[in-house]
Structure 1
Amino acid sequence: MAPDETSTAHNSSRAPEPVGLYPHARRAGNLLFLSGVGPRQRGQKTVPGVELDEDGNILSYDFESQCHAVFQNVRYILEEAGARWEDLVDVTVFLTNMKDDFHVYNRLYAEYFASSQPCRTTVEINCLPTPIAIELKCVAVVKG
């Protein structure tokens, strides 16, 4: 079978535009795989809570606002692809500063996932492709 017969790409009209050639999500059977989702906002180059110098280096960032923004972007993608927040079954989070940011992420994650608890993996990485401190990679089960 050709790829388009077994899976469907989905792009959100509310989530930030991808920074490369990939869809926001791809459905394969009843699984929905989200590409890496960051905190940027659609139509904007800036990142919530991030202050850059004239060379594009990060001067400061508000990690909590980035967390709220990334969770909202995941929700946008899920909803437009026919899934719900509660349908998430696996979340991988990439942090650029585990030492300083993990406790904030862990607290907010507990609030957002109080009633539904997908599997979770958290890793620290050196950097992300845009000046962000967090990115999520998610898998959901689509019902119907």
Structure 2
Amino acid sequence: MATNKELLNSNKAPEPVGLYPHARRVGTLLFLSGVGPRERGSKTIPGVELDEQGNILSYDIEAQCHSVFRNVRAILEDAGSSWDSLVDVTVFLTNMKDDFATYNRLYAEYFADNQPCRTTVEVNKLPTPIAIELKCIAMID
């Protein structure tokens, strides 16, 4: 059984919204916590317009997809892994009906050379006003 357990945080990805690391290394596997499209150091979410109470008025799923993929890449690289080392991706969408086609097209572009296993599910809501979140597992040396 692997005894190498290390908590890892990226200084490029958005700060966690709770008590959890960006990633945890166990042996040769790297488990990422849920990663959304927020920007580091702010509450800004690319492509999201909020009202005064913080409710979503409108959002751009394409902008959120690009941002969440950037955040995942930053965490992987800061942890000593890489995009090509991803082996499993779970995707949470808040609006499968309207957003799946755009997300699926962008996913195919980002993962053209590496095709990890993938599960995509619709959820009612995510902890922050975002439309997409990824949960990933990667190999690490």
Give TM-score scaled by structure 2 length. 0.97
Q: Which residue identity does 1:22 align to in structure 2?
A: Y
Alignment of 1:25-44 (within 5 A): 25-44=23-42
> Offset of 1:55 from its aligned partner?
1.1
Unaligned runs of 5+ in 1: none
User: Secondary structure of the equivalent of 2:135?
Assistant: strand
What do the CA deviations read for 1:28-66 (whole angstroms, capped 9, x no partner)? Answer: 000000000000010011210100111111000011000
Unaligned runs of 5+ in 2: none
Alignment of 1:53-64 (within 5 A): 53-64=51-62
Query: What corresponds to 1:136 in structure 2?
Result: 134
User: Secondary structure of the equivalent of 1:105?
Assistant: helix
User: Secondary structure of the equivalent of 2:119?
Assistant: strand
Q: Which residue identity does 1:28 align to in structure 2?
A: V
Q: 2:5 aligns with which of 4, 7, 15?
A: 7
> Offset of 1:77 from its aligned partner?
0.2
Give the number of equivalent residue pairs.
141
Alignment of 1:1-144 (within 5 A): 6-143=4-141
Q: Which residue identity does 2:59 align to in structure 1?
A: Y
What do the CA deviations read for 1:79-132 (whole angstroms, capped 9, x no partner)? Answer: 000001000000000000000000001000000000110000000000000000
User: Secondary structure of the equivalent of 2:49?
Assistant: strand
Tell me the C-alpha RMSD between the 2 structures.
1.3
Give TM-score scaled by structure 1 length. 0.95
For 1:38 and 1:87, how far apart are their aligned partners in 2? Answer: 19
User: Secondary structure of the equivalent of 1:139?
Assistant: strand
Q: After the TM superposition, which parts of structure 1 deviate over 2 Å for at least 4 consecutive aligned residues?
A: none
> Offset of 1:6 from its aligned partner?
2.9
